[in-house]
Amino acid sequence: MRFVVILLAKVLPFLFYMGAATTEAFVTQPHRTNRVVVVNYHAAASSSASSSSYNSNNKNRMQRHRRHKILPSFRQSTTTTTLLKASSSPDPPPYPVRVAVMGGGNFGLALASVVARKGVPVQLLVRSESAANYLNTNHTHPRYMSDIKLPTAIRATTDPDTALSDATYIIHAVPCQYSREFLESIKEHIPASTPILSASKGIETSSLGFMNDILKDCLGEERSYAFLSGPSFAREICEGVATAVVIASEDMDLADDLADLLTCDNFRVFTSKDVIGVEIGGAVKNVIALAA
């Protein structure tokens, strides 16, 4: 019973806030950009600056960009006290970025489309050679959302080295129950400094661990990780339906950079340091919805 109470205390505020945030981001205040909802930004930034695992070259380029675009808004903030802040950066990054997406299912395709629509090249790592060839030729997936045309900036491959070796960011979109085996099979191709954004949700049945636990077990604890969750559907994302999500990370510099990378006119990203809360929300939100 105590576990259920703790679970609900974590999940319900997350779900309530995301529903309210989606409405506010796209309906009530569509004209506002760089809306700040974190009071102690400089404290969070100084804390995360001590992390050495995030690729320093990319990080420095992004910080210069972020300092120019976002910090003035933080200086103007005086009253907001929530734990989330919204990013609003529809433009592509002003520096070379290459993204790899591990997993060619519905949500992997959706996030690959979000990134590719901003002109960023995306390598999609899939299992089937025939599916990769079909996607590269027809710009649709032969099985998942086959009626949706994908951006031409997405290229599929079955070779982990081709997809991962020089990626600026890697998005993990393999289902939770298959993630450990998959990560063990390709970890030698992932550079030690490359940060990982996990879009997979759930609790591993064999270990009762979240994706944060699985990633650190397989890829080490020195790397920076981030975790995406929120009320979102892959098809709606591909179709351009207004969507809002949260990216949580212990490294807020990484969370901010990923939010800037993914944010566009119809896809808004909020950031948070509450990794456990976001992971629990992602794992049990559908269960709570069905129970309700």
Would you name the residues annotated as active-site residues?
285
How many other C-beta atoms are found inside a 10 Å radius of the C-beta of residue 188?
Answer: 9
